[in-house]
Structure 1
Amino acid sequence: MRVGCRSDDDCSGQHSCVNKNCIPACAPDGSSCGTGATCYGANHRAVCDCPPGLLGNPKVACVVVGCRSNSECPGDKACINNKCVSPCEVNSPCPLPSECRVYNHQPDCTCPAGYVGDTLQGCQKTDITCSGDFDCPSQTACINGACVNPCTATKPCGVNALCKVLDTVPVRTMICECQPGYQGNAAVQCDKVISCPIEKGFIRDDVGNCVCPPNTGLNENEECMRCPEEKGLKVDDRGRCVCALEQGMIIDERGHCICPVEYGYKLERGRCIKPGEKTPGCTSDKDCPDNRFCDLTTSTCEDPCYTKRYGTSPFRTDFPRPEMMVSCLSDGVQVEIRIAEQGFNGVLYVKSHSKDEQCRRVVTLPADSSERTEIFKVNFGNCGLIHVNGQASFVLVIQKHPKLVTYKAQAYHIKCVYQTGEKNVTLGFNVSMLTTAGTIANTGPPPRCIMRIVTKTGQEINSAEIGDDLQLQVEVQPSTIYGGFARTCIAKTMEDNVENEYIVTDENGCATDPTIFGEWDYNADTQTLQSSFNAFKFPSSDNIRFQCNIRVCFGKCQPVNCRGYNAFGRRRRDVSDVELLPKNETEVAVSETIFEGQLREEITIESNAILTFERREERLIDPTEAPDLQRVEDICVSMIGFIIALVITALLALVAVAVAVSCWLMAYRRRPNTSGPLPHPAEFPNPLFTTPEPVTEPSPDYLS
């Protein structure tokens, strides 16, 4: 059996406690409100309200008097003089023979079948060959009643851009793309790309020219190849790697540049020396390879990293080459430095940015430390690191003193070369987007989005208890033309308090916490998007609503994969397409093999608000325990009442004790103070306090 209630607090917000029973605040027979009024329970009381289209005192009666705004009327009617009527019937703005139709409470003029024109010039009768794009063959659209190529008729693309037509339904879609070898905004202008084939070894110099790196030259395949002078090769004036014939080298029958060592010749420092000829020394650094210098004292090419040059030098030249690994990342450049010096105490920083905390790293190692690897990363936009013609570089300084730059400091030029290809911005248009203002075109009505909070059965509600199974439903009308998907949905309150906002789906449409708000699903029967959730609320408010960005598509939108689940958050793209596109490229059009889901526009809408109340659970007990429990509850009081009762009882007890003590003291003070001998037992009375019994006085002797 169910235990009854003691007060309204033991019942849900939609019920009240009457005779220890929770009954609905709204009477089932409708007597709580007036005729035609709607009743809903809130805070244990019946709340009455007149439904849309009715006015009056909801406690007495609601009568049909019309409307207050367009939102209370159907989409094909408007609120005029408190009545839902068609604006075309009241005051049609369309001249004959154009027809007036109402979309989203607003009149719209269209030419009937067999006529073309606009609202200014009127409709002219013509021989129409089509009424919509679906009546036209492939690669054509219905414009002014004729099937023509929309790219030729409208010319939506910019300079050096190509226009393509996709056979989408119900209207055709045009795609603007830059011509091969061009890049830019296809709707405005595409510029010619000066390509630099990095895959062939080319790089861009400081002024942006595409050249071969140092010590390399072009081969017969127009590729940059190493051209070492120590092997008898050189780079000529045309930038090609050729054989240095002036150094005694020859070209054999296979086309190879060789020194005929089989005949006694020998190759030294890029020169082919005849037998018996003395090896000439160097006279300048030009006579030595790039990694050597000419020691004039010995006329030999020496390694500058292991030899002190030109006598005593103020700079150290015998540094051990550090083991570094440079990683060229998408967001910056990362350097891994192996520090083998024990007790290293210094600073790593980017040159000219030593005071910027983002560009420096203090490294302190104990004296007995072992080898350690430090990771030093510089993000783009910080420390002067930017992209310049596909290259990013900075100078890394290894300062081996915590405060000073000494002769032990080392500096390294870190450079990353990024392969950048052509970047085309593809822009999509629909034929309906290109019609000018006032043009009457048979492109269908504009989309209209509706979002509601409903029950599992699809019934719209205005209140719920925490934990109730609800759904957020999104509908794009007309559904025969448009589809939609939702992204960046936010749960909020009517007060628009920033603190009372919670993101339930991210920018891709995937749920941030599926336990709070489920993934989007498409209901083919109702042609709506639905997401299930349990009713919840913010601590400081008793109402909740949702706001979402709805992207409208022509046809059905493609779903996105959220944690292995197809959710209609955004259009899904193949992995191969994503890998081929640059990260910063915005693509509006889909593959030519998909003729559905073309993006039209994005609309921000809000749902209806509902009241949310805390759930009051009723406790079930065993029938055999009910009498005892009932007796216990008959004498139970609340904690506050119990404390108050204890305090009152204690005060009354103190008053009673005080009265008793006062009475005793008064009685004690009024008792008489008697003095005398001690009392005697009854058997031995005190003669002083006894009264003798009277005896007869004897008669005188003279009378006898």
Structure 2
Amino acid sequence: MEVLQTAVLLVAAFVIVSVNGQYYSRIVSGASCSSYTCGTNAKCTISEGRPVCSCLNLHMGDPLVRCIRVECQIDDDCIGSKACLNNRCVDPCAGLCGVNAECQTRNHVPTCSCPPGQTGDPFTACRIADPQAACKPSPCGQNTECNVINEVPVCTCLPGYRGSPLVGCRHECESDYDCGNHLACTSEYKCESPCKCGENANCEVINHRAKCTCPNNWQGSPYVACRPECTHHSDCPRGKPACLYQKCMNPCEGVCGVNANCELRDITPICSCPKDMTGDPFVSCRPFGPRDLCEPNPCGANAICTPGHDNTGKERPVCTCPTGYLGNALFSCQRGECLTDSECPDNRACIDYSCQNPCTGRQCGPTATCTPRRHIAVCTCPDGTRGDAVVTCNRIDTQSVLNSGRFIRYRNY
């Protein structure tokens, strides 16, 4: 019976395989997982045509005999706060950290740290932190203050002292010469401004001493109070009626031009030229002259004004249109259609600033023909006539005469 079973297990199948056009036979094993019995909690798989026995997941042992279930084989078999140790999910923090330290497990990895407010080596021991521990004892010099910033001692001079805080600090000043020229040393050993002037006074410090003065045009004692010459127009006398920049002034002074008059309207200066003069009252006034007849231009638009005289010899402005313009110079001058022949068509000429026919009937003789060409009148005699086309054209009488045995016809040459 055992021999028969062995024979059955060893039965092989022949398979015909084609390789590069050649046919070969190949033996394929007929073994399968149904012919093998793996151990308890084991599984059977086929690999390269042969059965293979292995333990199920989370099982360990002899897969041909018996596999025993375990809690874990790797860390990923456990929850994130535990790790796999000896096939069991355990807390990796147990006994790992030092005294008073905290332990947290993330992704199966334990981490030791000191609680807030404590410091030290979390793998040895944690202790309550002293924020000023780095300043005990103080590494700073005399007259200094030590403060811990980011666990680092920082030294600074006490108020009113200066110098190197690591070596020692002293008063800001012992005398005026310890201060800048614009400061003085006070009884509190501080460099401060010595200015103690009166109200509205100016103060200038020279060699640590204050010099008090009133502003320009102000009155009073610079060590008590300074006041302006005026604050309202009513504070000023008649000759200087305006209070400008807190000083009594005459607004007309230096405002108007040469020979100009200045009158005050309230405190506003009004500049004007005298009646017999003209010009810019803010620059200069002068007597009237012929050129003033055309200033401003009394003529029409685009017209030219020229000083002249009327029939009685009295001076008056004369208005004319400039070259190339047409119209009434008293009202408006308009630019003509043309200035030269080139601005007109070939059969027109520029006459009186407009493009006109050059053949007006007066250029050629009474019987001649006038043709406008190249901007001029061209005179010719009609067929059957001859003569000077500018003067007159005469009719030609055709007759045949014998002259030396030849026929002669008179023509217009």
State the TM bucket, normalised to the shorter chain: under 0.3
Bigger relative CO (Cα 8 Å, ≥ 6 apart): 1
Structure with bigger helix share is: 1
Structure with bigger strand share is: 2
Alignment TM-score, normalising by the size of structure 2: 0.26
Alignment TM-score, normalising by the size of structure 1: 0.17
Structure with greater Cα Rg: 2
